[in-house]
């Protein structure tokens, strides 16, 4: 099983965020859902390893649960 990289791995984080947030600009919720779904599938195929994707899904779900816990928020 591949280790998940949780350290910064994107050299232009603000550009990445702008790309992702920009892709749904001006779309309806339904269009945005569709676009995000297609992106998930393309990213998943690029990664290519179901066990890695399953770990990422669990990490993503965990962040949702912890989002309400102020103790987990890092201020910088």
Partner 1 sequence: MSAKPDIPVWRPMGVTPAPSTRREQMPTLIVGAGPVGLTIALDLAQRGHHVTIVNRLDFVSAGSKAICFAKRTLDIWDRLGVGADIVAKGVIWETGKVFWGDRPDPIYQFDLLPVKNQKMPAFVNIQQYHVETILIDALSAYKNVDIRWGHSVRDIAVGEAGAKVHVAVGDTEYFVDADWVIACDGARSTVRTTMGLDFEGRVFEDNFLIADIKMKGERPSERWFWFDPPFNPGQSALLHKQPDDVWRLDFQLGWGIDREAAVKPENVEPYVRAMLGDDVVFEPEWYSIYTFQCRRMSRFVHGPVIFAGDAAHLVSPFGARGCNGGVADADNLCWKLDLILSGKAPPALLESYNTEAIAAADENIRHSSRSTDFMSPKSTPAIALRDAVLQLASRHPFARPMVNSGRLSTAVSYSASPLSTADEDDDWLGVPPGTPALDGPLGDGWLLGQVGTEFSLLTNGIDFAGLKNLDLSASPILCERFDLSPGAACLVRPDQVVAARWRHPDQSKIEAAQRRACGITP
Which chain residues interact with partner 1 by CB under 8 A?
30, 33-34, 36-38, 40-42, 45
Contact 52, 2 (CB under 8 A): yes
Q: What is the DSSP letter of 11?
A: S
Task: State the nearest-atom distance from the C-beta of 33 to partner 1, in Å.
Answer: 4
Task: State the nearest-atom distance from the C-beta of 40 to partner 1, in Å.
Answer: 7
For partner 1, which is the closer residue by CB, 45 or 63? 45
Per the structure block, which two tokens stand in for 74?
Answer: 């890092």
Q: How far apart are CA 14 and CA 19, in angstroms?
A: 9
Per the structure block, which two tokens stand in for 56?
Answer: 């990422």
Indicate if the alpha-carbon torsion angle 59, 65, 69, 75 is positive or negative: positive
Task: State the nearest-atom distance from the C-beta of 15 to partner 1, in Å.
Answer: 25
For partner 1, which is the closer residue by CB, 25 or 73? 25
For partner 1, which is the closer residue by CB, 39 or 72? 39
């Amino acid at each position: 099983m591949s280790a998940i990289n949780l350290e910064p791995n994107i050299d232009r984080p603000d550009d990445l965020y702008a790309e992702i947030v920009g892709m749904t600009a001006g779309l309806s919720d339904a269009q945005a859902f569709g676009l995000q779904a297609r992106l998930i599938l393309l990213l998943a195929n690029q990664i290519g390893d179901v066990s890695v994707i399953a770990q990422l899904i669990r990490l993503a779900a965990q962040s949702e649960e912890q989002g309400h816990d102020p103790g987990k928020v890092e201020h910088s």
